[in-house]
Amino acid sequence: MHVLITGGSRGIGAATARLAGARGWSVSVNYVSNAAAADEVVAQVRAAGGKAVAIQGDAAVEADITAMWDAAEAAFGPVTGFVNNAGIVAPGSPVAEMPTDRIEGIFRLNVLGAFLGLREAARRMSKSRGGTGGSIVNLSSMAATLGAPNEYVDYAASKGAVDTMTIGLSKELGPEGVRVNGVRPGLIETDIHASGGEPDRAWRMGVTSPMGRPGTAEEVGEAIVWLLSDAASYATGTTIAVSGGR
């Protein structure tokens, strides 16, 4: 198995890379700016028993996406698993106060970037186009169903779009030997909350969830790796919540 993970240098993507490494898989670890973090993940994947390479590229930029897939294929051959993971939030704000450039930034990566990543996957993995088939996992969010009022409705809406991509592409690519699923994390302890201006957000809100705590990146990664694997051979078009019941 050769897995390409966008945003594999930190958080959920990094945990997924490590779990894939433990299965002996080859992992192409994409990052945008934190080369040191990506190098550390590469070392961890190798230590776990897999192969890995770090690939710089902005998952919101078409040319970078193409180059990223080229670099991955050059390293380990055809990509058989694609984790469409790179995503951002912005500081909490009511919709009425949101500047346009903030909304554009979120939609550029979380919607346009995610969609272009899926287009590249469809072009390269589809059997009728010479691909080998495989499995795609899109990172959604519980925000897509909860709406994230007064925090980031823009982010929530971007993940709603991701959910629709999962449904549509699973129907297109089923006959192509490609399964397409999603994972919908709840409050997970990663750097994303600090990037939204509130490092403690996962704990502040996680204690109010039915399980009384936030989740770990590894707990989400386990679901992603399962969906990638042959153990999920009849699962397509679904999005699994890993949210502690939230």
- Give the span between the Cα atoms of 38 and 19, in whole angstroms: 15
192 in contact with ligand NAP (CB under 6 A): yes
55 in contact with ligand NAP (CB under 6 A): no
- Give the span between the Cα atoms of 196 and 212, in whole angstroms: 22
Interface pattern 209-238 for ligand NAP (x via CB under 6 A): ------------------------------
Q: List strand residue ranges (DSSP E) for 143-203, in order.
A: 178-185
From 31, 152, 155, 234, active-site residue: 155
β-pair type (239-242, 178-185): parallel
12 in contact with ligand NAP (CB under 6 A): yes
Closest approach of ligand NAP to the CB of residue 67, in Å: 12
10 in contact with ligand NAP (CB under 6 A): yes
239 in contact with ligand NAP (CB under 6 A): no
Q: In what order do the strands lie in the sheet with 239-242?
A: 51-56, 26-31, 2-5, 81-84, 134-139, 178-185, 239-242
- Can 155 be counted among the known catalytic residues? yes
Closest approach of ligand NAP to the CB of residue 214, in Å: 7
Measured CA to CA in angstroms, residue 55 lies from 67, 69, 237 at distances of: 9, 9, 28
| Cα dihedral 236→65→141→216 (10° resolution) | 100
Helix (H) or strand (E) holding 245: none
109 in contact with ligand NAP (CB under 6 A): yes
Closest approach of ligand NAP to the CB of residue 215, in Å: 8
Q: Please, which residues bridge with residue 178 across strands? A: 134
196 in contact with ligand NAP (CB under 6 A): no
85 in contact with ligand NAP (CB under 6 A): yes
Q: What does the binding site for ligand NAP look like in residue numbers (CB under 6 A)?
A: 6-7, 9-13, 30-34, 37, 58-60, 85-88, 109, 139, 141, 185, 187-188, 190-192, 195, 202
Residues known to be catalytic: 155
